A and B are shown apart, each in its own frame.
Chain A
Amino acid sequence: EVQVVESGGDLVQSGGSLRLSCAVSGFIFRNYAMSWVRQAPGEGLECVSSITNDGGSTYYVDSVKGRFTISRDNSKSTLYLQMTSLRVDDTAIYYCARRTLDDHLEFWGRGTLVTVSS
Chain B
Amino acid sequence: DIQMTQSPSTLSASVGDRVTITCRANQSIDSWLAWYQQRPGKAPKVLIYKASSLESGVPSRFSGSGSGTEFALTISSLQPDDFATYYCQQYSRWWTFGQGTKVEIK
Contact = CB atoms under 8 A, between A and B. Distances in A.
Given A46-B97, A50-B95, A100-B49, A105 B87 contact: no
Interface string B41-85: 011111001100001000000000000000000000000000000
Nearest to A62: B1
Interface string A89-116: 0000001000010111110111100000
A47 interface: yes
B89 A109 contact: no
Given A95-B43, A111-B43, A105 B97 contact: no
Nearest to B99: A44
Contacts, number: 53
Interface of B: 32, 34, 36, 42-46, 49-50, 55, 87, 89, 91, 94-100
Contacts of A59: 94
A103 B32 contact: yes
The majority secondary structure among interface residues of chain B is loop
B3 to A, nearest CB: 12
A105 B45 CA distance: 9
Nearest to A106: B46
A47 B94 contact: yes
B95 A44 contact: no
A40 B42 CA distance: 14
8 contacts: A37-B95, A44-B97, A44-B98, A50-B95, A100-B49, A102-B50, A103-B32, A105-B36
Nearest to B53: A102
A47 B46 contact: no
Contacts of B45: 108
Nearest to B92: A103
A111 B45 CA distance: 13
Nearest to B6: A44
A111 B42 CA distance: 9
